[in-house]
Every structure is written in structure tokens, then in C-alpha cells.
Homo-oligomer: A and B are copies of this chain.
């Protein structure tokens, strides 16, 4: 009987090709099918950044690239339908005995579409083994770029996905030693105003595209007010700095 393929969710790190793990490179190399979310993490040229990383290390000629469509929508039904469809496309390969590697920037279980896909794959192919290969997150790479510790022993950390609700950010700044504000680009003016108000603007560092050629580190975050910022932007505020 044909053995069902395995699905791997593989983190390829934050953007620098060398920040992929040895395990991630091996698993990708051994797999005939590479699944990527269509242009969700695109570089300047519109290509999947995760794929750009991988092709610097691994020959892709003999591999099938499976592009999966994940629309950027808040329509719950459309979202669920797209995930079911993507899982279906993956399961066709698994059921034909082919391993599939879903590559993702950063870590596959920390803000990645891979986590959303897993329940659908489990439903469509319950016999398939699913495995995750962890990766270096963007916030660890950003801390390295800024040479600013995220936390030392005994310190608590809050990671806030996008600072839409400033009151949540205010509460986190009060209760936690370090606050990481992901995807801060859309709300930079409000965040800067809050940091100035709370006297924390000198404890903050802004990093965008850590490890990419476009990497940018800004310690004077107040200077960012009014700027149009990159989508891959975050701010780390560490009170003990």
C-alpha cells in the first residue's frame, strides 16, 4: 500500500538565508513538494521571500512548487474556504505518497498560516503525519539587529500582534518588563505618542526587515512620526534598558 506523505511546517527564519536551521534545510532538501503562501510575504519583486531564502541554499529544479492562495480578508467564510482549499491541494500530494514542506518566514507556529492549515489537513488526511520545524522569529532577529536584549532572567514579555487598541498596549506597558509591538507600521503615530506620554520613548527601538538587505534600525522612535513604514516593522520596548 502507498504510504501517505508527511507534511512539514518549516520555519526558514527571519529573512537572512544563513539564519535557516540545518534541520530546515535538510527537510526541504529531502522533500519533492514545496508549498508557499502566494505572495503573502513578498519581497520587493513580488516573489515569496521564504522561497527566495530557500533557493539560495537548495536546488529547486526537480521540486514542485505548490502555490496556495490565502486572501487577506476579514470575511470568515472566505478565510475558512481558502484554508480548506489549500489543505485539499496539500492532501492530494500526501495521499499520492509525496512529502510536502510548507515553508514560512520566522517560525511555523508563531504567527504563521501553517497553524491555521493543520486542522484542515488533519480532517482531510487523518492518517498523515504532521511535523513542525521551528525557526528563528523576526523579534529575535530584530533584537540582534538592534543589539538590545528582549528580556533577562525574571523579566516578563508581551507580544502584541498589531497595536490597533492602544489601551491594550498601555496596559501591557504597565504590566510587563518588555513589550513587542508587531506590524507597527499602520499605527506608528499613535504608538509614538503613547511612548512619549509614558516616558518610554528612549526605551524603545524600531526595526524593520531584520536581516534583509533593507534592514533598518531606529532608536529615536519619535523621528518616525508621520512616516510610511514597511509592513515587516516592529518595536521592542524594554523598560529595564
For A109, the chain B residues whose CB sits under 8 A away are: 140, 143-144, 148-150
Q: Is A75 an interface residue (CB 8 A)?
A: no
Taking a contact as CB atoms under 8 Å apart, the answer to whether B158 and A157 are in contact is yes
Nearest chain B CB to A183 CB, angstrom units: 9
- Which residues of A from 30 to 77 have beta carbons under 8 Å from B? 57
- The answer to whether the Cβ of A130 comes within 8 Å of any Cβ in the partner chain is yes
Contact B140 A107 (CB under 8 A): yes
Residues B156 and A161 in contact, CB atoms below 8 Å apart = yes
Q: Which of B14, B20, B134 contacts A140 (CB 8 A)?
A: B134
How would residues 91 to 119 of chain A score, 1 for a CB under 8 Å from any chain B CB and 0 otherwise? 00000000000000001111110111010
- CB-CB under 8 A from A140, the residues of chain B are 11, 107, 109-110, 134-135, 137
Question: Assuming A18-B23, A23-B16, is B168 touching A162 (CB within 8 A)?
Answer: no
Q: Is the CB of B150 within 8 A of A110?
A: yes
A25 at the B interface (CB under 8 A): yes
**Residue among A151, A153, A161 with the highest chain B CB neighbour number at 10 A:** A153
Nearest CB in chain B to that of A161: its residue = B154
- B171/A158 in contact, CB under 8 A: no
Determine whether A194 belongs to the interface, using a CB cutoff of 8 Å to chain B: no
B contact residues around A110 at 8 Å (CB): 140, 143, 149-151, 157
* Residues in chain B near residue A157, CB distance under 8 A: 110, 158-159
Does A19 belong to the interface (CB within 8 Å)? yes
Assembled-state Cα–Cα distance A14/B134 (Å): 10
- A175's nearest neighbour on chain B, judged by CB, is B171
Whether the pair A13, B18 counts as a contact (CB closer than 8 A) is no
Whether A214 is near chain B, meaning CB under 8 Å from some CB there, is no
CA distance A16 to B110 in the complex (A): 19
In the bound complex, residues from chain B placing their C-beta under 8 Å from that of A20 are 21-22
Contacts of A107 in B (CB 8 A): 136, 140, 143, 150
Task: Give Cα A193 to B120, complex, Å.
Answer: 33
Question: Which partner residue on chain B sits nearest A183 by CB separation?
Answer: B153
A160 lies within 8 A of chain B by Cβ: yes
Given contact pairs A18-B22, A22-B22, A135-B140, a sample of 10 additional A-B residue pairs in the complex whose CB atoms are under 8 Å apart: A13-B21, A22-B25, A109-B143, A110-B140, A111-B152, A115-B152, A134-B144, A151-B161, A156-B168, A168-B175
